[in-house]
Chains A and B, each alone.
Chain A
Amino acid sequence: MSAQKTTVEFNDKVVRQFLLASVIWGAVGMLVGVLIAAQLNFWQLNFNTSFLTWSHLRPLHTNAVIFALVGNMMFAGVYYSTQRLVKARLASDFLSQFHFWGWQAIIVSAACTLPFGFTRGQEYAELIWPINLAVVVMWVVFAVNFFWTLAKRNEPSLYVAIWFYIATIVTVAMLYIVNHLAIPTSWTHSYSLFGGVQNALVQWWYGHNAVAFFLTTPILGIMYYFLPKAAGRPVYSYKLSVVHFWSLVFVYIWAGPHHLLNTSLPGWLQDLGMTFSLMLWAPSWGGMLNGLLTLRGGWDKLRTDPVIKFFAAGVTFYGMSTFEGPLLAIKSVNALAHYTDWIIAHVHGGTLGWNGFMAAGMIYWLIPRLWSKPLHSTALANLHFWIGLVGILLYVGAMWASGITQGLMLNATSEHGTVLTYPNFLDTVNAIRPLMLMRVIGGTLYLAGWFLMAYNLWKSISGAKPVNGTIEVFAEEPAHHAPGSLSIAGWVLNPPVVFSCLGIGFACAWMFGGHFLSIAGLVGTMFCAVVAFSHFEAKRKSWGDWYDRLLVSAVPFTVLTFLAVVAGGLIQIIPTVVIHKAANVEDRRQIPYTPLELAGRDLYVREGCYLCHSQMIRTLVPDVLRYGDYSRLGESIYDHPFQWGSKRNGPDLARVGGKYPNVWHLRHMENPRSISTGSNMPNFAWLLSNKLDVSTLPRKIAVQRQLGVPYPQWTDAEIAASVNDQQKKIAKDLRDSGAYIDSDREIVALIAYLQQLGHYEKVVPTGTAPTLAD
């Protein structure tokens, strides 16, 4: 069959759409970020409204910058580079447009729900279940469009950027679906399928790898394409990029438990998270050096070319963040840094420096290639760079100083470690106020730089015509059927895959099996290793050929990548799925909430209290001195979702129950400064006027029962009676203390919940979980 020369016109319309959306939503997300940073200094900026309150806006900020800014930027970069790397137009114009508009609809839905308290109560996973479903559908649309394009490609080889995109697509799908498994109680509310420690582990498996596979791997793919293009020279070492990819993909997925160090998470999981976090140093720095050294011989461009400036600084920030991450994952460093602003510094070094600057570099590079006019002003782009850089340095520097100050003050003890030096939490808040103000200034500068880019973009494309790239290809036969690619049977029935599967099977039998199975597994593993080595020695070429053929075979490559990421997740999660059972918990066990307490807990989640208050007293002396006995694993096993938290803008609440009278909580929620002078907590006065909605409680309790919480088979009337009784008791106590409040107000339910925190029962030796009816 003779080759036919045809011209392929790329679908750059969708690239332009995602690019513009990224700039617009980025501005919105960062504007909200500056506002909430200012609210921590000036509580009045909460304006006494629920929807502008810090804890309602913070999820909006994080979701906007992750899914709207980086998400849109990622889709633009992936679609632009993939079409050119595989020499094919995107497979479907309809799917491309559906992807774009569907994604924007999700962002708008998030903006319309999060400020009003519709949340799942888990960080970066706050969106309610109908939006979760929409995200899954859009991600599938993206995946289909991407893999369909690969199937139609005119270039047989898969460049390393495509590898990173494949890893992103399969891993994010897995993480998002597993972490968002839930049972709905209404159209806007659901309970996570996982509870307590299990929920904590799955959440941070997702949370950590959202950073890894949403904020890092796609941007690395973009780096491997756009940085060589901007520098005009190939990547420094392609071999290093291969090592970078496989080691990063395999190692990253295991590191999630480092978000739970010194907590009641089982010790071996903490060790696992710390070990793999430290191992991440190697691939991360390999990739960072590969990016920077791509500029070898072209450093002079740094003086004049804003694109190179942004890329060089972005990759440098990647190096800084990926050095800092493993450092913070060392248990002793984490004891100081966790729950403090140091983590905020780390996160923003990555997002503002790595994601934001890589986005800016890519956007400036794309503007004159997607429209018929050159960039309006290089000087403005350079100004954007310097303003943004100073902004990041101010922000990150302030938060480093603030975090270390917080950590040192909160952990400081005297009298041979028996007395806290700063027993009042507010001492630390007031000590870091100047640093929090510096953060606002840094964030504002960065935002100003972003607005400069938006203005530059607008001026550049005003009056310009959209331009779609083209390429002439010799279409002989589909590249994925080219000689050398693997057939379906070929990628399964080959020595590396067969021996790996056998080895894993035997190893699982060895580790998880009973007595006989364990011995058989051990023998089988050893036998498998010896046979595999012998086969490798005898038929070395067939092993090598298989790998080379894998690199031009998209489907087997994707499956292998999926197996690499799924292994880490399964080994961590499967054992903890079963330990959630109350019968396996020693020492202490949580007492299920009464209906009113459960309603109060849902308010706690709605108001986003977990964003400032942890419920996890770590196994550290200063934590125990400050908050009470360290938290046990069994004390939160019925919490769907868990509320261990990740940041302490205020004190831990794990044992706040019974510490203060009911009226203290009422006055504190109405106006925190009337109780705690100098507090920066917003007023939650609407809780005193809002009437509690109890109509959904029967359904919620039924779902809790489905999830394994030992509630008795209450009728609706019994639930209503229980709520009524407890409401009246609390309202009477409040009246006796001089606070007159109707018993059916939301604040009463919240007080009921807060007063229950820290209560537990001793585990009975029989291992059976009692119910409330007992």
Chain B
Amino acid sequence: MFTRIIYGDSTAIFTVVAFGVAASIFITISWRALLMKRPQVERYENLPFLTATPTCAEAGLDGQAKSEATPQLRT
């Protein structure tokens, strides 16, 4: 059997099957992503902005207090 794995033409089916599996996963995930609802998407994409990350200037640590820039939310 293992000699067949090295030299046999039939093992080409590995590539075809692997391609099929990968393609089906790609399609499934794309389909799932497309079905995501707008509120869900907005919730996820704004996660980085839920925690403020002010610079020292914005935090007033160097005497130049400013407010954290408000992220642009999609509507």
Measured CB to CB, the residues of A under 8 A from B are: 81, 84-85, 87, 155, 157, 159-161, 225, 228-229, 232-235, 238-240, 242-243, 246-247, 250-251, 254, 266-268, 271-272, 275-276, 279, 282, 368-369, 371-374, 464-465, 467, 469, 471, 507, 511, 544, 547-548, 564, 568, 571, 575-576, 578-579, 581, 584-586, 633
Q: Assess whether A232 is in contact with B45, with CB atoms less than 8 Å apart.
A: no
Q: Which of B12, B13, B14 has the most A CB atoms < 10 Å from its CB?
A: B14
- Majority secondary structure of chain B interface residues (helix, strand, loop or mixed): helix
Task: Out of A85, A160, A235, A585, name the residue touching B51 (CB < 8 Å).
Answer: A85
Measured CB to CB, the residues of B under 8 A from A are: 2-3, 5-7, 11-15, 17-19, 22, 25-26, 29-30, 32-36, 40-41, 43-57, 59, 61-62, 69, 71-74
Q: Assess whether A579 is in contact with B15, with CB atoms less than 8 Å apart.
A: no
Closest CB in chain B relative to A268 CB, distance in Å:
4
Residues of B within 8 A of A633 (CB): 6
Cα separation A507 to B47 with both chains bound (whole Å): 40
Task: Out of A155, A239, A547, name the residue touching B34 (CB < 8 Å).
Answer: A239
Task: Out of B13, B57, B73, name the residue touching A374 (CB < 8 Å).
Answer: B57
Closest CB in chain A relative to B58 CB, distance in Å:
9
In the complex with contacts A232-B69, A575-B2, A584-B6, A374-B56 CB distance below 8 A: yes
9 more A-B residue pairs beyond the given contacts A85-B47, A155-B50, A471-B52, with a C-beta to C-beta distance below 8 A: A234-B46, A238-B41, A242-B33, A272-B14, A282-B26, A369-B54, A585-B6, A586-B3, A586-B7
Cα separation A157 to B7 with both chains bound (whole Å): 49
Q: Assess whether B72 is in contact with A159, with CB atoms less than 8 Å apart.
A: no
Closest CB in chain A relative to B19 CB, distance in Å:
6
Cα separation A568 to B12 with both chains bound (whole Å): 16
Interface contacts (Cβ under 8 Å), in number, total: 152
Q: Assess whether A234 is in contact with B74, with CB atoms less than 8 Å apart.
A: yes
Closest CB in chain B relative to A522 CB, distance in Å:
12
Closest CB in chain B relative to A554 CB, distance in Å:
14
Q: Assess whether A372 is in contact with B2, with CB atoms less than 8 Å apart.
A: no
Residues of B within 8 A of A272 (CB): 14-15, 18
Residues of A within 8 A of B53 (CB): 84, 229, 369, 469
Q: Which of B12, B17, B40, B47 has the most A CB atoms < 10 Å from its CB?
A: B47
Closest CB in chain A relative to B28 CB, distance in Å:
9
Task: Out of A159, A232, A372, A579, name the residue touching B47 (CB < 8 Å).
Answer: A159
Closest CB in chain A relative to B50 CB, distance in Å:
7
Closest CB in chain A relative to B47 CB, distance in Å:
4
Can you name the residue of chain B whose Cβ is closest to the Cβ of A579?
B2
Can you name the residue of chain A whose Cβ is closest to the Cβ of B53?
A369
Q: Assess whether B6 is in contact with A374, with CB atoms less than 8 Å apart.
A: no
Cα separation A575 to B72 with both chains bound (whole Å): 52
Q: Which of B35, B49, B53 has the most A CB atoms < 10 Å from its CB?
A: B53
Task: Out of B5, B12, B49, B51, name the residue touching A271 (CB < 8 Å).
Answer: B12
Residues of A within 8 A of B25 (CB): 246-247, 250, 564
In the complex with contacts A233-B71, A254-B18, A372-B61, A240-B48 CB distance below 8 A: no
Residues of A within 8 A of B6 (CB): 266, 579, 584-586, 633
Task: Out of B61, B62, B73, name the residue touching A234 (CB < 8 Å).
Answer: B73
Residues of A within 8 A of B56 (CB): 368-369, 371-374, 464, 467
Closest CB in chain A relative to B5 CB, distance in Å:
5
Q: Assess whether A87 is in contact with B51, with CB atoms less than 8 Å apart.
A: yes
Q: Assess whether B49 is in contact with A234, with CB atoms less than 8 Å apart.
A: yes
Cα separation A560 to B26 with both chains bound (whole Å): 15
Q: Assess whether A467 is in contact with B47, with CB atoms less than 8 Å apart.
A: no
Q: Assess whether B41 is in contact with A581, with CB atoms less than 8 Å apart.
A: no
Residues of B within 8 A of A368 (CB): 55-57
